[in-house]
Chains A and B, each alone.
Chain A
Amino acid sequence: MLTFTFRKIAVLVGTMLGLAALTFLITNVAPGDPARLVAGPDATNDMVETIRQEYGLDRPLYEQFAIYMGDLLTGDLGRSIVSTRPVVDELMRYVPATLELVLVAMVLGILVGVPFGMLSAVYKDRFLDQVTRIFSISGVALPAFWFGILLQLFFAVRLEWLPVSGRLPLTELPPEPITHLLLVDSLLRGQFETFWAALSHIILPAIVLSFPCLASILRVNRAEMIEVLQSDHIVAARAHGISSARIVTIYALKNALLPTLAMIGLRFGWMLGSTVLVETVFDWPGIGLYAVSSALASDFKPVVGVTLVIGFFFMITNTLVDLAYAWIDPRLRRA
């Protein structure tokens, strides 16, 4: 198991370097001259040339690449052209917000998707199964921006149970950062009121973001459970007198979780990359909004930064999924 873990981490590092190289290449073949963009529309050729030298854009590509990789390894992602602030600083502001949103949505998706997928398999084609089927088809089909607005109208405007948008009320000071995740930090600092405020803000966007993910987790887990419940070892467990509850929750669920885990890993990456709609509707200060506005301004450094961050978390999750696979299935441990 230990060698397996190390191998997976080595693969993670390798993939990360590959991603870094790829993003470098893409930004270099993308149309537009960054030096001219920085210099502005009225700049003379001399000014553009000066900036080109200043940013090292006149050097050969391999040298630029070496500098870029060197900067990357020391945690320097360059400066945004628009705000002139270091990209790392800006990411530190936006990434935790998105990460918190995605994590809460993921937890929601797992906590609802896995048990209800399991129950739908047990009560296949009965009432509960039909209800979850309708629920999950709508989950995949409803567009996030529409569903989000609907929830806002109902829970925030009509019932006034939850705030419409934002991450915290303007009157509430965020807790002193530890993890930069508001829910975690407010708990760690013992600021329970801030915690409730943050929670009430995150519920609606998290539901909207998690809905399609929850639906696919539910359906995958259901399909797997149905298949596992028909397998020989389940017949044997029944014949040996093991109780139905134990068979479903331990003997079958453990086997069915493997493909479900793969789905969870994929969905996590998908959510990181698709928060922008939800962030727009709920005015959530995350990387989705940041990436889109930077891309529209041809501000490449933040786009590269966001790409690397999403890639990084995506790979981390998938490595964790791989490790969880091996933890669940002893047959994979030697691989």
Chain B
Amino acid sequence: MTALLNIENYRLDIPTFDGVLKVLDGIDIKLDQGDTLGIVGESGCGKTVLARSILGIGPRNAKRVSGQIVFDATALDELSEAEWRRIRGVKISMIFQDPMTYLNPLLTIGRQLSDVVVAHHRAQGMQVPAKAERLARCGQLLEQVQIADTQRVLKSYPHQLSGGMRQRILIAMALAGEPKLLIADEPTTALDVTIQAQILKLLRDLVDRLGLTVVMISHDVGAIAALSRRVAVMYAGTVVEQGEAESILTRPRHPYTRGLLAALPDIEGATHPLEAIPGTIPNLITPPTGCRFHPRCPRATAICRQQKPETRSIGADHVVACHHAFD
């Protein structure tokens, strides 16, 4: 079975005033239809840039140095703007981090949602439905994300609704085109903890019910674990470890993954002090040579400074990129 999403040796540079940011450094990610992948990593590790590249909405001046992103047998990097429109929202769609700023403040929810519905019909060459039909469809989409008072919500502006409600609306918009692949970029980060749980549960239900393929991005390992069967751990533009969530979260092999998990509070056996990873994430204009994690790594040796570690398989579905991976 060929993967629905295949990212191969993807390298991306972003020229800035201070120099060229080497944002993504050879990313390899495969995702089968119906599977769920969580990408976890610190802020600034390139998660969001990667996610947006999948939808062709990354930074305008970003330059692809090598590799490609193939979705459903289509090389996405080659697409024209017109071709993108047949993909965005229809085949791949996205949920965003902050529901506060990702909805247009000056248009009603109904207007924004129905625009999305219209765009999808146009993209697929179908006739745009009449107004009543569109409204019914919008109501249906809101019901799907468990919003009860659909008529009132459709007439509302974003500022009149709560954060949780707005996130539900963004999810409804993302699902409007019945996409195959859903990218969730930190969907719970900006929400209260209780709302986070609700949104995660809603996403879980939708993924199960609609059989969605999901890429979820977060720095919250808990949120990732709740939704993803597989996990990819990113550090400074590289994937350091990838595989089944179960395997990675219980037996991490990469020193960075270990550090990340050790930095998490543990409710049940809260006996050990939380460990922080020493140092900070590197400057991506002049990234460390060899393994990008070596300046912060407790196991680093001479080879780590000189050679970028190959990604090697260490289990049925578990790869790691480290010269000195744990056994």
Chain A positions near chain B (C-beta within 8 angstroms): 231-233, 235-244, 246, 250-251, 254-255, 328-331
- Contact present for B116 and A242 (CB under 8 Å): yes
Chain B positions near chain A (C-beta within 8 angstroms): 52, 55, 57, 81, 85, 87-90, 93-94, 96, 98, 101-107, 112, 115-116, 119-120, 122-123, 157, 159-160, 170, 173-174, 176-177
CA distance A255 to B94 in the complex (A): 23
CA distance A244 to B174 in the complex (A): 18
* Residue numbers in B under 8 Å from A254 (CB-CB): 104, 106-107
- Contact present for B119 and A240 (CB under 8 Å): yes
* Residue numbers in A under 8 Å from B94 (CB-CB): 236, 239
Majority secondary structure of chain A interface residues (helix, strand, loop or mixed): helix
CA distance A235 to B177 in the complex (A): 17
Among B90, B102, B105, B176, which residue has its beta carbon within 8 angstroms of that of A236?
B102
- Contact present for A236 and B103 (CB under 8 Å): yes
Most A C-beta atoms less than 10 A away, residue of B115, B123, B160: B115
* Residue numbers in B under 8 Å from A328 (CB-CB): 106
CA distance A236 to B99 in the complex (A): 10
- Contact present for B106 and A246 (CB under 8 Å): no
- Nearest B residue to A234 via CB reads B104
- Contact present for B57 and A240 (CB under 8 Å): no
Q: How many A-B residue pairs have CB under 8 A?
A: 81
- Contact present for A241 and B90 (CB under 8 Å): yes
CA distance A239 to B183 in the complex (A): 10
Q: Measured between C-beta atoms, what is the minimum distance from B101 to chain A in Å?
A: 4
Q: Measured between C-beta atoms, what is the minimum distance from A246 to chain B in Å?
A: 7
- Contact present for B57 and A242 (CB under 8 Å): no
CA distance A243 to B173 in the complex (A): 15
- Contact present for A233 and B102 (CB under 8 Å): yes
CA distance A239 to B55 in the complex (A): 7
- Contact present for A331 and B159 (CB under 8 Å): yes
CA distance A236 to B109 in the complex (A): 14
CA distance A244 to B57 in the complex (A): 12
User: What are 17 A-B pairs at a CB distance below 8 A?
Assistant: A231-B101, A233-B105, A235-B102, A238-B57, A239-B93, A239-B96, A241-B89, A241-B93, A241-B119, A242-B119, A251-B107, A330-B105, A330-B159, A330-B160, A331-B105, A331-B157, A331-B159
* Residue numbers in B under 8 Å from A331 (CB-CB): 105, 157, 159
* Residue numbers in A under 8 Å from B120 (CB-CB): 241
Assuming the A-B contacts A254-B106, A329-B106, are A240 and B89 also in contact, with contact meaning beta carbons closer than 8 angstroms in the complex? yes
- Contact present for A243 and B119 (CB under 8 Å): yes
- Nearest B residue to A257 via CB reads B106
Q: Measured between C-beta atoms, what is the minimum distance from A249 to chain B in Å?
A: 12
- Contact present for A241 and B106 (CB under 8 Å): no
Among A232, A250, A329, A330, which residue has its beta carbon within 8 angstroms of that of B102?
A232
Assuming the A-B contacts A232-B98, A331-B157, are A241 and B104 also in contact, with contact meaning beta carbons closer than 8 angstroms in the complex? no
Q: Measured between C-beta atoms, what is the minimum distance from A231 to chain B in Å?
A: 7
